[in-house]
Amino acid sequence: MDGKRFLPYALVLAGLLASTDTSRVVAANMRSFIEAVRRKAAVVYVGSVKEVQLLTRTKFDIKARAVVEVSAVARGSGNPREATFEYSSFDDKTPMLEGGPQYQLKPGIKVVVFANSFASTIPPGYLLQGSSAELLQRLTALHDSLSKMSPDQLKVNEINEQDRRIQLELYEKVRTYVRTSK
């Protein structure tokens, strides 16, 4: 294709790219941070890390399993004393990877876990960790952000008005559990 015939195609392509709704592109790249991931979690629980087990270590990643002493169940059936989940981690020998959630969990750290089960071999859909004050701050931010979402933002987050109500109630419940947990 010679230069004169290429120019019109390039201009059309540039126009199409410029008119693309980038909010959806960004949301697609940040899938684990959209509200639908937390909404679809079969179990949500509050607890503290009891033990961390190293499963495998490579030059690029650490696979670990956390054993969590469950203090409260906000979503899901049953009331287990313990839960486990596997996750990706990093340290001074294994650098942090770009693009994926990695955690540095230690015994005693409080967690709020959004997962598919209480004994999961896949990483949680979403995980909050820290002190009670830090967890309350992050849960309040999630609650406030969700309560202010426009209808278009709800669509980008792949939820509807009913999902919003369910999640707002969940965040209230989890905040209460975090406040009262030991």
Q: What is the pLDDT of residue 26?
A: 35
pLDDT at residue 182 tops 90: no
* pLDDT, tens only, 160-173: 999 999 999 999 99
For 144, residues 6+ apart whose C-beta sits below 8 A from its C-beta are none
Q: Which CATH class is domain 32-180?
A: mainly beta
Q: What is the pLDDT of residue 33?
A: 65
Contact present, 71 and 177 (Cβ < 8 Å): yes
* pLDDT, tens only, 71-107: 999 999 888 999 999 988 877 777 676 766 777 889 9
Instruction: Work out whether the CA dihedral 80, 45, 127, 131 comes out positive or negative.
Output: negative
Q: Residues for the chain: how many in total?
A: 182
- Band (21; pLDDT cuts 50, 70, 90): very low
Contact present, 167 and 149 (Cβ < 8 Å): no
Q: What residue segments make up the domains of the chain, in order of their start?
A: 32-180
In a 13 Å sphere around the CA of 181, the CA atoms on its Cβ side amount to 26
Q: What is the value of pTM for the model shown?
A: 0.78
Average pLDDT value for residue range 130-152: 96
